[in-house]
């Protein structure tokens, strides 16, 4: 598999390079806000960042967020079955709960499972995704050891609608409308999607049942804003989804929501503030029949946050960002069969942070620090320093060093089968060096080398049947990304190569392949576009000492513009009908076909 991946990289770079041609349209660099909590272009940012726009989402014709993210560098996706099943995303070889997930700036993952319900938010409700690879605890606090994935929900300007259908009895519909003026805006988007699916497990699974395991999701996103006197503006943002998922031995229902009210504006000509009140809910209810009898459990996380950020510009080369944060989190584990509460715990965390962005004698400097006061684990200080400089107008070199931590969540501490009250917080340091090049207006290259050391990593011990701290873990890796965007061609190829190792016993961390290659190529032919995507993943350690085989997937897509506002899309996924597993004992989609008719 490693030889195939190496060959694929050579082919990808060669094929993409020959597509470069003159393009009369300037492609502006994407603007990101997650890396520094302020607006910067991706080229200027002293971090490894990826921006996925609404146009990228529609062009990819992916079925789920996890399918989309699997094609980007540094992200390993593991899923226990089809749509809606438990999905884990490992960012740069760190744990799945080391990627802080934000929805419109609000923490939206579960404190009881430690994960975000990726199946709950359909791609139809997403306007944009920003991925920052590397620690950001100095700006966001606990959980951002591997990085931050921020989802910005759909904001319409005018009418939009789409219908879809395909393999596994998949069908869906969505519609939205938006209005915007100089003083106000209003937008909503609703969607419904269902699929009959396939059996989540195979014969190697612990509770195999060959029946189909379906999934359905209904969701809504609302945005509203109004300008106020004194150059202030108030905004309301909310996303809410209800889902039902079948498993081999049962089913589950989920309710997920993230809402915020934001007051923002200029206090003076150089002083901008943003006051955000956020609330999120993750309510997961599962029941079924196992070989040991009926089971049922319910996890509930409710989180309230207040975040007040101030940005002070000192001339054109200096920006100071300071803020305070309050987090109140309640998590419950209920047993509906016995009507008992396994645990009901609350925790409060307060924090203050400071970030300085400066340009001194042609060198960009970013300094950031944060102090978190956790109700259970006390005070934790995290910091980050990054330096960057243009070697040439189109070449930028940067280095960074940052620390991060993660406090054990309720599942780690209190879960009846494996909880451990003696756990210590996880702490990490990451060193990174990056090179960004723009050989021409149409091409860009990004190279990143990183090393992360994590102390007291929390992991489930199958021998003692409880969560325990691992003394030290080391992760080393390299990422390379090459993109081309011309009048007739769009292409992106990337490779991630890394090692994720338990330094105590020299074993590989579970579910983290050493190598991944992704290739995306699109050819524009007037009113039509044809494209392909290839994903190659090397083998990885699995539970129980086994190994998951590496695999390669290929897909084809086609889009046709019927009119200015109406587009037809078609996609064939896994065209070779490859059988593979991302988690041992769980099935993945075979060859499948989908059609989408979209109006904007």
> pTM (2 decimals)?
0.94
pLDDT tens profile 524-539:
999 999 999 999 999 9
The dotted CATH code for 2-599 is 2.40.170.20
Q: Which residue has the higher pLDDT, 206 or 262?
A: 262
Say yes or no to pLDDT of 11 above 70: no
List Cβ<8 Å contacts ≥24 apart for 307-310.
307/105, 307/274, 307/275, 307/276, 307/278, 308/273, 308/274, 308/275, 308/276, 309/37, 309/273, 309/274, 309/275, 309/276, 310/271, 310/272, 310/273
What's the whole-number average pLDDT of the chain? 92
Say yes or no to pLDDT of 545 above 90: no
Name the burial class of residue 387, with classes exposed (0-12), middle (13-18) and buried (19+) by CB atoms within 10 angstroms of its CB.
middle
Q: Which of 54-63, 330-339, 430-439 has the lowest mean pLDDT?
A: 330-339
pLDDT tens profile 225-243:
999 999 999 999 999 999 9
- In sign, the C-alpha dihedral spanning 121, 124, 127, 132 is positive
- Cβ(62)–Cβ(69) below 8 Å: no
Say yes or no to pLDDT of 97 above 70: yes
pLDDT band at 19 (very low <50, low <70, confident <90, very high): very low
**Residue 315: CB partners within 8 Å, gap ≥ 6?**
none
- Bin 568: left if φ > 0, else alpha if -120 < ψ < 50, else beta: beta
pLDDT tens profile 466-520:
999 999 999 999 999 999 999 999 999 999 999 999 998 999 999 999 999 999 9
The domain locations on the chain are 2-599
């Amino acid at each position: 598999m490693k030889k195939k991946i190496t060959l694929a990289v050579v082919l990808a770079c060669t094929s993409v390079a020959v597509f470069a041609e003159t393009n009369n349209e300037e492609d502006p660099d994407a603007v990101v806000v997650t890396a520094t909590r302020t607006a910067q272009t991706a080229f200027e940012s002293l971090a490894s960042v990826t921006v996925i726009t609404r146009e990228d989402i529609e062009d990819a014709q992916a079925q789920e967020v996890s399918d989309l993210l699997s094609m980007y560098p540094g992200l390993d996706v593991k899923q226990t079955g089809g749509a809606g099943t438990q999905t884990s995303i490992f960012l740069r070889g760190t744990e799945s709960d080391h990627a802080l997930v934000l929805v419109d700036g609000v923490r939206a993952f579960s404190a009881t499972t430690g994960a975000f319900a990726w199946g709950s938010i359909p791609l139809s409700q997403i306007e944009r995704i920003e991925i920052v690879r590397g620690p950001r605890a100095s700006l966001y606090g606990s959980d951002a050891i591997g990085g931050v994935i921020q989802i910005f929900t759909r904001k319409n300007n005018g009418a939009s609608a789409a219908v879809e259908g395909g393999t596994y009895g998949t069908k869906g519909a969505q519609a939205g409308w938006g209005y915007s003026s100089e003083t106000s805006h209003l937008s909503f988007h609703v969607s419904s999607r269902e699929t009959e699916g396939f059996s989540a497990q195979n014969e190697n699974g612990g509770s195999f049942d060959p029946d189909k395991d379906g999934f359905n999701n209904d969701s809504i996103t609302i945005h509203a804003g109004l300008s106020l006197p004194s150059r202030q503006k108030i905004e309301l943002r909310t996303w809410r989804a209800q889902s039902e998922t079948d498993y081999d031995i049962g089913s589950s229902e989920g309710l997920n929501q993230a809402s915020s009210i934001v007051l923002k504006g200029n206090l003076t000509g150089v002083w901008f503030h943003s006051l955000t009140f956020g609330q999120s809910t993750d309510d997961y209810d599962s029941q079924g029949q196992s070989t040991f009898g009926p089971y049922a459990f319910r996890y509930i996380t409710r989180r309230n946050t207040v975040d007040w950020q101030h940005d002070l510009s000192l001339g054109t080369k200096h920006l100071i960002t300071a803020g305070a944060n309050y987090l109140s989190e309640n998590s419950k584990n209920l047993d509906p069969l016995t009507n008992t509460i396994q645990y009901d715990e609350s925790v409060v965390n307060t924090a203050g942070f400071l970030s300085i962005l400066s340009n001194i004698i042609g060198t960009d400097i970013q300094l950031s620090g944060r102090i978190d006061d956790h109700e259970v684990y006390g005070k934790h200080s995290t910091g980050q320093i990054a330096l960057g400089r243009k070697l040439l107008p189109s070449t930028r070199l940067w280095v960074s060093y940052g620390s991060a931590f993660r406090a054990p969540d309720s599942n780690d501490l209190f879960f009846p089968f494996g909880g451990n009250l003696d756990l210590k917080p996880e702490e990490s340091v990451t060193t990174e060096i990056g090179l960004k090049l723009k050989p021409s207006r149409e091409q860009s290259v990004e190279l990143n080398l990183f090393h992360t050391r994590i102390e007291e990593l929390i992991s489930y011990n199958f021998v003692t049947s409880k969560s325990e701290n691992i003394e030290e873990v080391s992760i080393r890796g390299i990422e390379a990304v090459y993109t081309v965007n011309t009048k007739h061609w769009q292409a992106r190829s990337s490779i991630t190569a890394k090692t994720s190792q338990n330094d105590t016993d020299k074993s590989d961390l579970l579910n983290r392949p050493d190598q991944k290659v992704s290739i995306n190529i699109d050819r524009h032919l007037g009113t039509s576009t044809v494209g392909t995507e290839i994903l190659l993943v090397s083998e990885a350690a699995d539970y129980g000492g086994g190994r998951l085989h590496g695999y390669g997937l290929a897909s084809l897509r086609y889009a046709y513009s019927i009119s200015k506002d109406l587009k037809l899309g078609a996609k064939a996924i896994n065209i070779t009908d490859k059988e593979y597993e991302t988690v041992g004992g769980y099935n993945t989609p075979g060859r499948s076909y989908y059609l989408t008719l979209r109006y904007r």
